[in-house]
Structure 1
Amino acid sequence: MRESTASQVAFVGLGSNVGDGIATLHAALAALDSLTHTRLLRASRLYRTTAWGVTSQPDFINAVAMLHTQRTPRELLSDMLEIERLAGRDRRADGSDRWGPRTLDLDLLLYGDEVVDEPGLHVPHPHLHERAFVLVPLAEIAPEARIPGIGTVRDAMAGMASAELEGVTYAQPHDRA
């Protein structure tokens, strides 16, 4: 495992559709900002989106956060899983709840220009370029970010349908860049 000294920009997708999703995402952004050797640089506004995968569940509140971190991808993922757990997320070991309702879902979307393919950790996120609920908020804060093997976020957005996204206007973007 590499040392946790090199700084990287990482992007995290956030989602919630159980309980007060807006409050949950705001708390998750604060938790990400409080991680060791990590700083929240920017966060998109919040978006209300229809459920993906299992569609017979409540709409999601989604956002994307831009972090500056010295944590390795594996360390960051571990931190994210703990934030989910503290928010009340209970992941089933068999993954059968993968597409179901959740109090908080955090996905490591990008970690610099790195490609990571390990058990339980895939960066860039395998479906990042196919999902408007991730690409729209990501494009809001970093349209020129590179998705390894795809191109820029702007390139991935070309032709992407985003009609199922509705901005939650009373939740303002966070920008510390």
Structure 2
Amino acid sequence: MPLGIVLRRTPGATRWAKWSWKAVAILPGAGSADWRELRRDGDVVEYHAATRILELYAAETEAYVHGLTARVPSIYVVMRPVSGEYPFEILLVTASPFEAQDYSDSGEDVVEKVPMTPGLVAWIGEFVDSFHEDEPFVKRQRDKRRDDLHQDGIGDPRIGKAADIYASPSLMRSRLS
């Protein structure tokens, strides 16, 4: 499904940041856009920055379930800072909080959380209902075999016999002379 990403530019709070940018909304089914101005209120401007395709995968339904059961189900917008007139390149949108975490771990990309629309929650919910299979938790069992009863290769190969391992150094010198 194509999703339009709306970014809001507000004046910066410090002298080091002239502008503050935030992803504030998504537009399901939006057409293509390239930083189209949507609304202006003084210095605050909202842009339809880009439209990206939201792809869902049957193997990722566990992540979608986690995202849908959150207090506020959200879409994650992954942006990469660039130099130029506009500060971000919109890389992708995802409904998977796990994938969003992977992108935020690198520290190179900016990941913004945007609340889902009710229609999008229903659409992703239908997808999950069609493809999700709960995997039962299986506790791993220990082997009954005891590995600590047999010592395999004790000590240093330079020691001739097992009795020499615990011999005091003074006794060892008298044996060597």
What TM-score comes out, normalization by structure 2 length? 0.31
Structure with more relative contact order (C-alpha pairs < 8 Å, separation 6 or more) = 1
Q: TM-score, normalised by structure 1?
A: 0.31
